[in-house]
Structure 1
Amino acid sequence: MSISAGSYTFGPDSGRILVHTTRTGLGAKAGHDLTIEVTRWHGDATIDTAAPAGSSVTVEVDAGSLEVRTGTGGVKPLTGSDREEIERIIRGKILHTDRHPTITFRSSRVDGTAESFHIEGDLTIAGTSRLVTVQGLVADDRVRGSAVIVQSRWGIRPYSALFGALKLSDEVEVRLDLGLVARG
Structure 2
Amino acid sequence: MAIRTGRLRFGPHNGRMLLRTGRTGVGSTVGHDLTIEVTDWSLELDVPDTGPADATATARVELGSLAVREGTGGARPLSDKERGEIENKARRTLDVGRHPTATFESTRIVTGEDHATISGMLTLHGVAAPIDVEVREVTATRYRAATAVTQSSYGIKPYSALLGALKVRDDVAVELEVDLEG
Tell me if both proteins adopt one fold, taking TM over 0.5 as the criterion: yes
Q: Contact between 1:56 and 1:107, CA under 8 Å: does it hold in 2? A: yes
The separation in 2 between residues aligned to 1:56 and 1:181, in whole angstroms, is 20
Structure 1 position 109 matched with structure 2 position 120:
no
Structure 1: how far apart are the matches of 2:176 and 2:113?
Answer: 16
User: Following TM superposition, by how much is the alpha carbon of 1:6 offset from its aligned partner in structure 2, in angstroms?
Assistant: 1.6
Secondary structure of 1:76's counterpart equals coil
Partner SS, residue 16 of structure 1: strand
Q: Which moved more, 1:105-114 or 1:52-61?
A: 105-114
* 2:94 match: 95
Residue segments in structure 2 that go unaligned for 5+ positions in a row: none
Q: Which residue of the partner structure matches residue 131 of structure 1?
A: 130
In the alignment, which residue of structure 1 is the partner of 2:169? Answer: 169
Q: Does the 8 A contact of 1:91 with 1:97 survive in 2?
A: yes
Write out per-residue CA displacement over residues 47-90 of structure 1, whole angstroms, 9 at most, x where no aligned residue: 24754331111111111001100000000111111110111011
The two structures have a TM-score, normalised by structure 1, of 0.93
Post-superposition offset of 1:114? 6.9
In the alignment, which residue of structure 2 is the partner of 1:84? Answer: 84
- Greater shift after overlay, 147-156 or 42-51? 42-51
**Aligned residue in 1 for 2:120:** 121
Task: Kindly provide the amino acid, as one letter, of the partner of residue 133 in structure 1.
Answer: D
Q: Is the 8 A contact 1:33 1:73 kept in 2?
A: yes
Pairwise CA distance, 1:31: 0.1
- Kept in 1, the 8 Å contact 2:148–2:173? The answer is yes
Q: 1:40 to 1:69 in 2, by over 3 A?
A: same
Q: Is the 8 A contact 2:61 2:102 kept in 1?
A: yes
Query: Partners in 1 of 2:44 and 2:135 — Cα distance?
Result: 16
Q: Calculate the TM-score normalised by the size of structure 2.
A: 0.94
Identity %: 44
In the TM superposition, 1:16-165 aligns within 5 A as: 16-48=16-48, 50-92=50-92, 94-113=93-112, 115-140=114-139, 141-165=141-165
1:90-141 residue CA offsets vs partner (Å, 9 max, x unmatched): 112x111111111111111101147410001111111111111000112211
C-alpha separation in 2, matches of 1:120 and 1:106:
8
